[in-house]
């Protein structure tokens, strides 16, 4: 018997399945075939599986469980997942989102310590709610298309430390006098400042101008002298070892 070779195509769902037919009749389409090799079984997924594995677009965002309480200014870990409408992970989402926090009275500062860039529908990182007040906040993320997700309310406790908002370059701790010395750098190209801070109250007790700016600070081992890295007015490198002040006990 003369064997003939055909390539016929069967339709299954939305996927075309090519079939090699050799010899007598093919049971699927009546084409001559004694043996039918369904190449799609080897090379293609069945239509139902192909549709099920299609990644749907992002519909909303979900936060991982965030336990309470948290402490203001203290970072904590969060996982945010981009979700499709059917609840599966939208793994094709690789965009960015904006993170915000709000309490009953309005917005609360919050920051992510790494960029909010998703990979395969997931973002894992560390965030902090930067408030020194005890409060309850709701976290929200949203992308540019308006998809969003919320977490909370989350209880935030006041931090057990004092926040001093200064543009500090260097700190020196004076345990003898119970003070901190902070170099504040050059507010102009030719001058800087050293602040004397009471760490118990957070108040700046004194601010001393320094010609040439103030960089790194060092306190003598007996706390008798404070040294500051400085330079001549507007020129020359920073140098360590210039005596800034004699400190009295």
Q: What size, in residues, is the chain? A: 249
Alpha carbon 19 to chain centroid distance? 51
**Stronger pLDDT, 6 or 99, i.e. the higher one:** 99
Q: What local confidence, expressed as pLDDT, does residue 182 receive?
A: 87
Q: What local confidence, expressed as pLDDT, does residue 37 receive?
A: 43
Local structure of 40: helix, strand or coil: helix
Q: What local confidence, expressed as pLDDT, does residue 190 receive?
A: 64
- φ, ψ for residue 59, nearest 5 deg: -120, -35
Q: What local confidence, expressed as pLDDT, does residue 17 receive?
A: 45
For residue range 182-215, list pLDDT tens digits in order: 888 665 566 778 888 887 777 888 888 877 777 7
Quick one: average pLDDT of 228-236? Answer: 58
| Ramachandran quadrant class, 87 (left: phi over 0; alpha: psi -120 to 50; beta: rest) | left
**Stronger pLDDT, 218 or 101, i.e. the higher one:** 101
Q: What local confidence, expressed as pLDDT, does residue 185 receive?
A: 66
Q: What local confidence, expressed as pLDDT, does residue 40 receive?
A: 40
> What's the mean pLDDT when you consider all of the chain?
75
- Global pTM value: 0.53
Among 38-47, 73-82, 147-156, the minimum mean pLDDT is found in 38-47
197 CB neighbour count, 10 Å cutoff: 22
For residue range 174-184, list pLDDT tens digits in order: 877 888 888 88
Q: What local confidence, expressed as pLDDT, does residue 129 receive?
A: 95
Would you say 127 and 146 are in contact if contact means Cβ atoms under 8 Å apart?
Answer: no
Q: What local confidence, expressed as pLDDT, does residue 93 receive?
A: 96
Say what percent of the chain tops pLDDT 90: 38
For residue range 116-145, list pLDDT tens digits in order: 999 999 999 999 999 988 999 999 999 999
Q: What local confidence, expressed as pLDDT, does residue 178 receive?
A: 82
- Which one is the CATH code of 60-157: 3.40.640.10, 3.60.21.10, 2.60.40.1930, 3.40.50.620? 2.60.40.1930
Q: Positive or negative, the Cα torsion across 217, 218, 224, 225?
A: negative
């Amino acid at each position: 018997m003369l064997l003939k070779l055909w390539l016929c195509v069967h339709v299954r769902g939305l996927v075309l399945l090519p079939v090699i037919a050799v010899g007598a009749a093919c049971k699927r389409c009546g084409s001559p075939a004694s043996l039918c090799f369904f190449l799609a079984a080897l090379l293609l997924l069945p239509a139902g599986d192909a549709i099920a594995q299609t990644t749907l677009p992002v519909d909303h965002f979900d936060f991982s469980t965030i336990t309470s309480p948290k402490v203001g200014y203290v970072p904590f870990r969060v996982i945010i997942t981009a979700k499709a409408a059917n609840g599966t992970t939208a793994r094709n989402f690789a965009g960015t989102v904006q993170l915000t926090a709000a309490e009953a009275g309005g917005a609360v500062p919050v920051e992510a310590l790494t960029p909010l860039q998703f990979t395969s529908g997931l973002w894992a990182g560390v965030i902090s709610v930067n408030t020194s007040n005890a409060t309850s906040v709701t976290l929200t993320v949203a992308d540019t298309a308006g998809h969003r997700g919320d977490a909370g309310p989350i209880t935030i406790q006041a931090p057990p430390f004092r926040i001093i908002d200064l543009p500090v370059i260097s700190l020196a701790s004076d345990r003898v006098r119970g003070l901190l010395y902070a170099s504040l750098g050059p507010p102009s190209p030719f001058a800087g400042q050293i602040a004397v801070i009471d760490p118990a109250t957070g108040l700046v007790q004194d601010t001393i101008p320094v010609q040439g700016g103030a960089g790194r600070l060092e306190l003598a081992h007996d706390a008798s002298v404070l040294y500051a890295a400085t330079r001549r007015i507007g020129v020359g490198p920073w140098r360590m070892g210039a005596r800034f002040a004699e400190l009295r006990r």
